[in-house]
């Protein structure tokens, strides 16, 4: 049955047997556990927006397989317009939630799989693309949530997968059976396990001919036996389990995606769910296309969150009575400039997208990497300005429990007041929101989500076409006409 509403989505998660370790406890009531509720809420919002007439044009698309209306998160891009609607959708959602909505990696994995399985079939005569299209149709028809699993834990970064002392530091095939394969290893930084139905697994790096066991792509239900999920700690994460709302900053939604380490201990995968097996020459292509597709998003999703941060920063300036000061206005202008610069990158790489041999459209790889490189820098500067305007109170504000306390709450209410007519609580709330959006895990994710800054620089050098630019310079300088 296709999931339509947020409540149907939550009910579908309750039917799974997903278990996640967190703080030394194995948690099985994932949907309703206070640590995970904000993460589930974020994904549930994508179903809610799909039913909203004002946002459904961005949220829904027409399936190239069935011509049915489907979630854009499960869509294979069929045009430049699709690429543009993707980033517009992400900015809109993040403006409304101010959080990672956890479905981007799955969306990008589906599109990557569609493109690369076609190419593998063309070279080797395999039937991966047919298998993958069946999987895509299932995902679309059931309207389920897929997440991506790319990053291996890597061990000694100076060594290739096959040279590691422990071969399990990169996920690999340990057994081939008549009915499928068995895999072992671990994947890191899985965004959205708390709210997922399926996981799509693929390599993290280009591979050599002697590393066929590591060249594997497959899908599986998130609650597949043999997989252990361990939740990652985040800044101020225990605030989610506290009473009250103020200290949570963004009480309804989680700022980042609730990343997990996933350990695969001899996990069986049937052949119908395997989409690459041993084709090492295509491992790097999976990485390149997924990376570009995922980096395309960042100017939009971080731009939407930054829009909320700008609003909060403007609010705190008003609450302090300084919103008309020239230096405050100048700093707000700089925040706007930086956000729109981020977003311009997402729009540009989408506009320069092209059709691949599979029929799916792919973003401009060079510009997508430029977009993500900007994110690793500009998000920090946007946060710095927000903290500058917000003031030291962002780091020293008393807890909500103290504000609610009958003995000392009145003191906080009296002495942390701002301009007349604004409740002290409003000021406390906006401080916590600024803290939430401008520091801690949110910044690390902006830096390393979709790959480290150096990874983008590698792709930019590769895509920068230095040889062509050298020829341009030699001709204009008159060097090409000189003789030795």
pLDDT tens for 224-234 read 999 999 999 98
Asked if 269 and 183 touch (Cβ cutoff 8 Å), the reply is yes
Which entry of 77, 99, 104, 194 is annotated as an active-site residue? Answer: 104
Q: Are residues 261 and 302 in the same domain?
A: no
Which pLDDT score, from 0 to 100, does residue 484 have? 66
Determine the structural domain holding residue 446 and report its residue range.
294-475
The tokens for 223 are: 């609650």
Q: Are residues 259 and 299 in the same domain?
A: no
Q: Are residues 215 and 186 in the same domain?
A: yes
Write the secondary structure of the chain as one string of H (helix), E (strand) and C (coil).
CCCCCHHHHHHHHHCCCCCEEECCEEECCHHHCCCCHHHHHHHHHHHHHHCCCCCHHHHEEECCCCCCEEEHHHCCCCCHHHHHHHHHHHHHHHHHHCCCCCCHHHHHHHHHHHHHHHHHHHHHCCCHHHHHHHHHHHHHHHCCCEEEECCECCCCCCCCHHHCCCHHHCCEEEEECCCEEEEEEEEEEECCHHHCCEEEECCCCCCCHHHHHHCEEEEEECCCCCEEEEECCCCCHHHHHCCCCHHHCCCCCCCCCCCEEEEEEEEEEEHHHEEEECCHHHHHHHHHHHHHHHHCCHHHHHHHHHHHHHHHHHHHHHHCCCCCCHHHHHHHHHHHHHHHHHHHHHHHHHHCCEECCCCCEECCHHHHHHHHHHHHHHHHHHHHHHHHHHCCHHHHCCCHHHHHCCCCHHHHHHHCCCCCCCCHHHHHHHHHHHHHHHCCHHHHHHHHCCCCHHHHHHHHHHHCCHHHHHHHHHHHCCHHHCCC
Mean pLDDT for all residues in the chain: 96
Residues placed in the known binding site for FAD: 191
Distance CA 309, CA 386 (A): 7
Mean pLDDT of 272-295: 97
CATH code of 266's domain: 2.40.110.10
Q: Are residues 320 and 252 in the same domain?
A: no
Q: Are residues 172 and 301 in the same domain?
A: no
Instruction: Identify whether 260 is a catalytic site residue.
Output: no
Which entry of 198, 211, 259, 435 is annotated as an active-site residue? Answer: 259
Q: Are residues 45 and 165 in the same domain?
A: yes
Which pLDDT score, from 0 to 100, does residue 481 have? 82
pLDDT above 90 as % of the chain: 93
Which residues lie closer than 8 Å to 260 by C-beta, 6 or more apart?
20, 190, 193, 229, 230, 231, 232
Asked if 234 and 196 touch (Cβ cutoff 8 Å), the reply is no
The residue from 286, 319, 335 where one domain ends is 286
Distance CA 5, CA 7 (A): 5
In a domain, 57, yes or no: yes
pLDDT in tens, 266-276: 999 999 999 99
Q: Are residues 266 and 298 in the same domain?
A: no
Mean pLDDT of 79-97: 98
CATH code of 338's domain: 1.20.140.10
Which entry of 99, 100, 260, 436 is annotated as an active-site residue? Answer: 100
Which entry of 294, 313, 319, 375 is annotated as an active-site residue? Answer: 294
Report whether pLDDT(1) > 60: no
Instruction: Identify whether 298 is a catalytic site residue.
Output: yes
Instruction: Identify whether 104 is a catalytic site residue.
Output: yes
The residue from 255, 286, 317 where one domain ends is 286
pLDDT in tens, 357-378: 999 999 999 999 999 999 999 9
Which pLDDT score, from 0 to 100, does residue 472 have? 94
Instruction: Identify whether 349 is a catalytic site residue.
Output: no
Report whether pLDDT(315) > 60: yes
pLDDT in tens, 160-180: 999 999 999 999 999 999 999
The residue from 252, 286, 320 where one domain ends is 286
Instruction: Identify whether 114 is a catalytic site residue.
Output: no
Report whether pLDDT(403) > 90: yes
Q: Are residues 51 and 141 in the same domain?
A: yes
Which entry of 301, 316, 319, 400 is annotated as an active-site residue? Answer: 301
Task: Report the predicted TM-score, pTM, of the whole model to 2 decimal places.
Answer: 0.95
Instruction: Identify whether 198 is a catalytic site residue.
Output: no
Q: Are residues 136 and 272 in the same domain?
A: yes
In a domain, 230, yes or no: yes
Which entry of 229, 298, 314, 319 is annotated as an active-site residue? Answer: 298
Asked if 284 and 206 touch (Cβ cutoff 8 Å), the reply is yes
Structural domains counted in the chain: 2
Residues placed in the known binding site: 191
Which pLDDT score, from 0 to 100, does residue 450 have? 85
In a domain, 481, yes or no: no
pLDDT above 70 as % of the chain: 99
Instruction: Identify whether 301 is a catalytic site residue.
Output: yes
Which pLDDT score, from 0 to 100, does residue 431 have? 98
In a domain, 483, yes or no: no
In a domain, 125, yes or no: yes
In a domain, 480, yes or no: no
In a domain, 482, yes or no: no
Mean pLDDT of 203-217: 97
**Chain-centroid distance, C-alpha 455:** 16
């Amino acid at each position: 049955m296709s999931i339509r509403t947020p409540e149907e989505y939550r009910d579908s998660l309750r039917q799974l047997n997903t278990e996640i370790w967190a703080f030394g406890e194995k948690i099985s009531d994932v949907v309703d556990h206070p640590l995970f509720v904000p993460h589930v809420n974020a994904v549930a919002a994508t179903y809610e927006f799909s039913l909203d007439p004002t946002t459904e044009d961005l949220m829904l698309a027409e399936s190239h397989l069935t011509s049915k209306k489907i979630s854009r998160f499960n869509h294979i891009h069929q045009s430049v317009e699709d690429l543009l609607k993707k980033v517009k959708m992400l900015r809109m959602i993040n403006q409304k939630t101010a959080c990672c909505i956890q479905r981007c990696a799955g969306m990008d994995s589906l599109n990557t799989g569609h493109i690369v399985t076609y190419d593998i079939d063309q070279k080797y005569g395999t039937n991966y693309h047919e298998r993958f299209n069946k999987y895509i149709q299932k995902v679309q028809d059931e309207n389920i949530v897929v997440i991506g699993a790319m990053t291996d834990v890597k061990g000694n970064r100076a060594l290739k997968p096959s040279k590691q002392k422990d071969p399990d530091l990169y996920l690999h095939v340990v057994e081939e059976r008549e009915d499928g394969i068995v895999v072992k290893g671990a994947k890191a930084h899985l965004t959205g396990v708390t709210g997922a139905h399926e996981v799509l697994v693929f390599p993290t790096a280009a591979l050599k001919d002697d590393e066929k066991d590591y060249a594997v792509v497959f899908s599986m239900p998130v609650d597949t036996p043999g997989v252990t999920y361990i939740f990652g700690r985040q800044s101020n994460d225990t605030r989610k389990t506290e009473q009250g709302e103020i200290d949570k900053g963004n009480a309804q939604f989680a700022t980042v995606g609730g990343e997990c380490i996933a350990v695969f201990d001899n996990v069986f995968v049937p052949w119908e769910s395997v989409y690459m097996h041993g084709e090492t020459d295509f491992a790097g292509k999976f990485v390149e296309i997924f990376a570009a597709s995922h980096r395309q998003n960042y100017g939009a999703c971080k731009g939407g969150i930054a829009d909320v941060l700008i609003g909060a920063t403007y609010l705190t300036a008003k609450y302090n009575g300084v919103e008309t000061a020239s230096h405050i206005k100048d700093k707000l202008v700089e925040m706007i400039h930086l956000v729109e610069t981020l977003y311009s990158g997402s729009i540009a790489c989408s506009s320069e997208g092209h059709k691949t041999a599979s029929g799916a459209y792919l973003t401009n790889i060079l510009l997508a990497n430029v977009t993500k490189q900007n994110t690793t820098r500009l998000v920090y500067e946007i946060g710095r300005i927000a903290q500058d305007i917000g003031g030291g109170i962002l780091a020293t504000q008393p807890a909500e429990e103290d504000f609610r306390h009958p003995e000392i709450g009145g003191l906080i209410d009296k002495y942390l007041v701002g301009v007349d007519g604004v409740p002290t609580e409003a000021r406390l709330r906006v401080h916590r929101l600024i803290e939430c959006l401008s520091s801690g895990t949110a910044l690390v994710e902006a830096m390393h989500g979709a790959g480290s800054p150096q990874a983008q620089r590698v792709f930019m050098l590769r895509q920068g076409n230095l040889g062509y630019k050298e020829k341009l310079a030699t001709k204009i300088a008159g060097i090409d006409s000189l003789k030795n």
